[in-house]
């Protein structure tokens, strides 16, 4: 059972629920566009898709064998002999018809001859060419796919908000669909800020910190379904930052920055973006949240086009938590995907944990399904070690603002990190 306390310490901070509600309602889905089916994979449908035609569109043989009329096999206990009057392949198109006592040799996918209602598997016969002996009569309808058996014309194949998967694409193609109306995948720009940052291939040392966040965030945005462009490192230069954001606002649907969200003398992102005229148009509000370890986020718009921008902390672990809290739902909203948030479950805690009072903590965890049902939750490294904890996690354990400690055996909320790969 978890221990709870009065969360009065959080009164000066904004709750995560209130913050998400106020921010996400400002992010409408991107305008829809009509795409060729070959380009639709991974996009989100902008409208329901009904089947224009039935599938299958005609009766055909589902297996290799002999197309027969079941009436010719009635009363046959062991063996019957039929004349083979032709061969049909999947490319056959001329209409043909059985007469009593005859059959067609057919390949899987071949249109069914008129009068035929059954396909006898080839290995149930002597596989004759001019005449065939059937050793084992099948039931009527065996080996046959009837028109409309799988999908009827007018059936809704998928609803708006569904991601086009390879299987869904196949269903669309099977019913004669060549184009679908989708939401475009958001174009996301990721920039890291800070004079201290250096690129990969080095080790952090005093005065130099390897840019971890922009690489991790670019990968996370790509995993969420966005087209991502990583700008790299931007120095703490006000004019350079303004120019960078103005330039990117002409080509992005969402901009993500990392670093510079605090109130220190070097926190240039906040100093530039919090001003109404900081980047010509739009403004960014920086909000202190009752969240650990990502307690400060910036959100607003930049540029003449008022492109949404989300400002994350410079600490890589906190930035990744901020991504899961806000950026990923924002990408989902822009792309029109449903649901917006990751799935969550409740699980039994295997190890006792302490949590900051008055803060909603997101801690990496390993979740496992129990054989008898339900889930177990093993907490991993959090706080200043969140980054290493995330690398080994498949979930985020969520401890509410009023929870100061959670003993082993208690039930906790868990957000599943259902990564695509």
Q: What is the pLDDT of residue 24?
A: 95
- Report the chain's mean pLDDT, rounded to a whole number: 90
- Give the residue from 292, 329, 337 showing the smallest Cα distance to 308: 329
Residue 157: C-alpha distances to residues 7, 174, 342 (Å)? 48, 11, 24
E strands in 148-244: 156-158, 179-183, 187-193, 197-198, 209-210, 227-234
Q: What is the pLDDT of residue 274?
A: 75
- Write the pLDDT tens digit of every residue in 122-167: 999 999 999 999 998 899 999 999 999 999 999 999 999 999 999 9
The residue behind tokens 């966005």 is 226
Q: What is the pLDDT of residue 21?
A: 94
Topology (CATH) of 60-145: Molybdopterin biosynthesis moeA protein; domain 3 (2.170.190)
Residue 354: C-alpha distances to residues 222, 266, 295, 401 (Å)? 33, 33, 18, 12
Helix, strand, coil shares of the chain, percent, nearest 5, are 20, 35, 45
CATH architecture of the domain covering 34-53+160-183: Alpha-Beta Complex (3.90)
Helix axes 328-335, 16-24, angle to 10 degrees: 30
Topology (CATH) of 10-32+185-335: Molybdenum Cofactor Biosythetic Enzyme; Chain A (3.40.980)
Cα distance from N-terminal residue to C-terminal residue, the chain:
35
- Give the residue from 301, 291, 345, 366 showing the smallest Cα distance to 321: 291
Kindly give the parts of the chain with pLDDT less than 70.
1-11, 75-78, 275-282, 419-421
| pTM tops 0.85, yes or no | no
> Encoding tokens for residue 320?
């990744």
Q: Which residues pair with 279 in a beta bridge?
A: none
- Give the residue from 55, 54, 35 showing the smallest Cα distance to 164: 35
Q: What is the pLDDT of residue 85?
A: 97
Domain ranges of the chain: 10-32+185-335, 34-53+160-183, 60-145, 344-416
CATH class of 344-416: mainly beta
């Amino acid at each position: 059972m978890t221990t709870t306390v009065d969360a009065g310490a959080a009164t000066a901070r904004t709750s995560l629920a209130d913050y998400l509600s106020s921010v996400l309602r400002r992010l409408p889905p991107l305008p829809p566009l009509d795409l060729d089916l070959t380009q639709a994979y991974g996009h989100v449908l902008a409208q329901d898709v009904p089947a224009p035609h039935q599938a299958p569109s005609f009766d055909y043989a589902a297996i290799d064998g002999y197309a027969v009329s079941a009436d010719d096999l009635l009363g046959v206990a062991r063996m019957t002999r039929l004349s083979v009057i032709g061969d049909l392949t999947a490319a056959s198109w001329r209409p043909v018809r059985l007469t009593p006592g005859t059959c067609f040799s057919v390949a899987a996918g071949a249109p069914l001859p008129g009068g035929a209602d059954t396909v006898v598997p080839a290995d149930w016969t002597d596989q004759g060419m001019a005449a065939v002996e059937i050793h084992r009569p099948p039931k009527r309808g065996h080996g046959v796919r009837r028109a409309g058996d799988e999908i009827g014309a007018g059936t809704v194949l998928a609803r708006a908000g569904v991601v086009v998967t390879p299987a869904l694409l196949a269903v669309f193609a099977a019913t004669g669909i060549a184009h679908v109306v989708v939401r475009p995948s958001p174009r996301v720009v990721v920039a890291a800020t800070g004079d201290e940052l250096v690129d990969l291939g080095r080790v952090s040392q005093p005065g130099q910190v390897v840019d971890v966040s922009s690489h991790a965030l670019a990968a996370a945005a790509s995993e969420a379904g966005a087209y991502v462009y990583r700008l790299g490192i931007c120095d703490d230069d006000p004019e350079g930052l303004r120019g960078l954001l103005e330039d990117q606002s002409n080509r992005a649907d969402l901009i993500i920055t990392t670093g510079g969200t605090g109130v220190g003398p070097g926190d240039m992102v906040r100093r530039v973006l919090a001003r109404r005229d900081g980047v010509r148009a739009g403004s960014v509000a920086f909000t202190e949240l009752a969240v650990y370890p990502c307690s400060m986020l910036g959100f607003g718009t930049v540029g003449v086009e008022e492109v949404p921008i989300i400002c994350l902390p410079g600490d890589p672990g906190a930035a990744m938590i901020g991504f899961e809290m806000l950026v990923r739902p924002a990408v989902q909203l822009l792309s029109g995907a449903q649901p917006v948030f990751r799935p969550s479950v409740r699980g039994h805690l295997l190890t006792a944990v302490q949590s900051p009072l008055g803060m909603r903590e997101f801690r990496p965890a390993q979740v496992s399904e129990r054989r008898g049902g339900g889930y177990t939750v093993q907490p991993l490294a959090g706080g200043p070690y969140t980054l290493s904890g995330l690398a080994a996690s498949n979930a985020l354990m969520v401890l509410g603002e009023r929870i100061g400690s959670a003993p082993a055996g208690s039930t906790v909320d868990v957000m599943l990190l259902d990564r695509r790969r």
